[in-house]
Structure 1
Amino acid sequence: MPIPYFSQWESPELVAAIVTGAMSAADDPRWADSGAVSAREYEFWSWRACGMACLRMMLAHRGQEVPPSVELAKECERFGGYVRHETGVHGLIYAPFLGWAADRFGIDGEVRIDFGLSELRSLVAQGHQVMASVHKSIREPKSEPPRKGGHLVLVTGVTESGLVMNNPSGTGPHGQQDAYVDDEDFARFYALRGMVFGRAG
């Protein structure tokens, strides 16, 4: 069964315009669906909500209630999954996030570092879901990222030569849900860390 998709923005069809700067996230007409108290609060969290989008996908796949993204982000912040600083937020911080997700939703996961692509592929092939740290420019898999990591995608499947993922900041009809990236391309964006979750269902 396909993993349900949630973008980190409320209007998936507007992500291309938002990430290229053609429009402000605050102008997303569905911003209030996020649970934010204002368009500006929505804009602030939407750029940082890749982990919350991945969590929402897992909750939906498990048939659980799916809270709004900004409500989740602010709750996660209270448990240490995000830490404010002068110019923004540190996070998602894996360990407190996992503790909160286990207590709040019964979703058990573990942090993986030095997490090679072959091990990631093996676990996903066994039915595990993986939040993998990649550079956000993976939405254009043939591009050259300036660095690795900083953005979370939910890896949901493997093929003989690549990975299938739901990308919270993906664009276009083939870049969001069940987006395919071949192994060689994925490796250029992948920071060799992430979180592994138990088999759903």
Structure 2
Amino acid sequence: MTESYRSDARAGHLRAAGHGDAVRHEVPYHAQWESAELVPELLAGRLAAEDDPLWERSGAATPEEYAFWSWRVCGMACLRMALEYWGLPADGLVSMGKEFLDAGAYVRRADGLDGLIYAPFAEHVARRWGIGAEVRPELDPEELPDLLAAGRLVMLSVHPSIREPQTRPASRGGHLVLAVGCTAGHLQIHNPSGMPGVSQRFAEVPWPALPKFFARRGVVLGR
């Protein structure tokens, strides 16, 4: 069945007529690396993050600092996309990561980084940008269509392999994506580590496939 859409510029989304509540928020996309087209090479290890030609856009002081953060800023990429959608200022991803480190949403340790820690993240988002950020330690997938229809964007904890929905991961969670729309058959996400042209922008995850990736927790963002 072909869906017919009516434009709703004020709400910033498209809603399907006669086929449930399909919503699509026109959110700009950012990968967690500055060169989104290089994600396959980076994930496969054929290219080092230090060699990303756009690394300076991140706000990192050195390629090595960029490389350290770039594997850990999926949450910052999700937030940056949401901020730009709402016309709010957003820094480079490493600059944002260091800001949230100072806010307690990341914890630096000798061999890496712990986080994103939701409570201090949400508190800093609300304080810094004045938008709602509700931590949801228990989030039912069935709530997502109503949240999206109400104008919210939702950061979801999923397994990184969600970029290939046909896979079956050994666990759930560990990576953050941004829910930006839905149809009766799919959840639409912007995936900071998705594959270009396949699973980065408005990537469709069938509702029956979502539970094997989704840890049923996240952060609901809204103005």
| Counterpart for residue 138 of structure 1 | 162
Q: List gaps (5 residues or longer) in structure 2.
A: 1-11, 13-25
Tell me the C-alpha RMSD between the 2 structures: 1.1
Partner of 1:170: 194
Question: Is residue 4 from structure 1 mapped to residue 41 from structure 2 by the alignment?
Answer: no
- Residue 126 of structure 1: how far off its partner (Å): 2.6
TM-superposed CA distance for 1:38, in Å, is: 0.6
Q: Per-residue CA shift, 1:33-66, capped at 9, x if unaligned?
A: 1000111100110000001001110111011222
- Distance (whole Å) between structure 2 residues aligned to residue 99 and residue 78 of structure 1: 13
Match of 2:62 in 1: 38
Q: Normalized against structure 1, the TM-score is what?
A: 0.95
SS at match of 1:23: coil
**1:160, CA displacement in angstroms?**
0.3
Is the partner of 2:135 in helix, strand or coil? strand
- Structure 1: any 5+ residue segments left out of the alignment? none
Partners of 1:126 and 1:3 in 2: CA distance: 15
Q: Which has the larger Rg?
A: 2
- Partner residue of 1:16? 40
1:78 corresponds, among 87, 98, 102, to: 102
Q: Distance in 1 between matches of 2:151 and 2:90?
A: 21
Deviation at 1:94, TM superposition (A): 0.4
User: Distance in 2 between the 1:155 and 1:195 partners?
Assistant: 10
**Counterpart in 2 of 1:117?**
141
Letter of the 2:66 partner, please give it. Answer: Y
Percent identical pairs in the alignment equals: 48
- Write out the 4+ residue segments of structure 1 that deviate beyond 3 Å after TM superposition: none
Q: Which string of whole-angstrom CA distances, capped at 9 and with x for unpartnered residues, describes residues 102-144 of structure 1?
A: 1111121111122111112331233211000001111111111
Amino acid of the residue matched to residue 152 of structure 2? H
Q: Which amino acid aligns with 1:14?
A: L
SS for the counterpart of 2:28 is: coil
- Give the TM-score normalised by structure 2: 0.86
Look up the equivalent residue of 1:146 and give its one-letter code.
Answer: A
1:64 to 88, 105, 108: 88
Q: How many residues align?
A: 199
